[in-house]
Amino acid sequence: MPPKLIVSDIDGTFLNPQGRVTARLRDAVLRAVDAGAHFGLATGRPHRWLIPVLDQLPLAPVCVCANGAVIYDPAADTVLHAFELAPDTMRDVVASVDRALAGVPHGYGVERVGQSALDPEEECFLVTPEYNPDAWDARFGVVEVAELVAVPAAKLLVRCESMMAAEMLDLIAPVVDPADAHVTYSMDEGLIEISQPGVNKAAGVSRLAARYGVEAGDVVAFGDMPNDLEMLAWAGLGVAMGNASPVLLDAADHVTATNDADGVAVVLERWF
């Protein structure tokens, strides 16, 4: 039976390596929606970073953003649900991470929810001076760590340019109590993403499914990185891209072609 809800990660999955939604994939999604299926995106991106993706689609699906911390309706430019880390929790996590990464240069960032996809970036994405010295950080707000964690946030980020994300996870995950926060990553370079306990893409997609009256067994989900693990395990059919992280390839129900070869469309074309 065709799925009743289709959910896809964005980077490395729905977008090709050039950051584009191919005509083949767009047409496959439209055929599925025309046939009665629901469609959504589930991403580590904040909702403010959806516009370049949604501009390539003739529909505006409700999206799971910030690894499940934000459910966003782009048609109304409205945050439907937000699940934030408390300042005290972030202070405790920063202290633990500082001990775990003692002697290794690292910095912190936060993604604050805000209200609209058009909120000023410097008010919603804040970083410490050590986060990243690259020029692209100039558009973000730069503050000291005390100010960074003074306001609830959808995600706390840890950046370390000298390490890969998997190496950081091995050091950070053991010192962060899962009852306090959820630790994951969505890119190989040194960036760890920390959210409220129980907040992940699976939790967000379950809310989408409930919104549409769809059971988990009728959901197909696509992903490529460890932050997609829970989502693929929850869905009735969890599909890893051919370019996916090894941990996802091992856990998925099915492996499709790479994002450069329209792997999402390859699967959808079996039904629609």
Q: Which residues fall within 8 angstroms of residue 8, CB to CB, at 6 or more apart? A: 14, 40, 41, 42, 221, 222, 223, 264
CA distance 62 to 119: 18
What is the per-residue pLDDT for 134? 61
Judged by DSSP in three states, 122 sits in: helix
User: What is the DSSP-derived secondary structure letter of residue 10?
Assistant: I
Sign of the C-alpha dihedral, residues 195, 201, 206, 208? Answer: positive
Smallest Cα–Cα separation from 236: which of 255, 257, 254?
254
Whole-prediction pTM: 0.92
What is the per-residue pLDDT for 135? 47
Q: How confident is the model at residue 33 (pLDDT cuts 50, 70, 90)?
A: very high
How far, rounded to the nearest angstrom, does the alpha carbon of residue 178 sit from its chain's CA centroid?
Answer: 18
- 134-148 pLDDT tens trace: 645 567 889 999 999
State the chain's mean pLDDT as an integer.
95
CA distance 61 to 59: 6
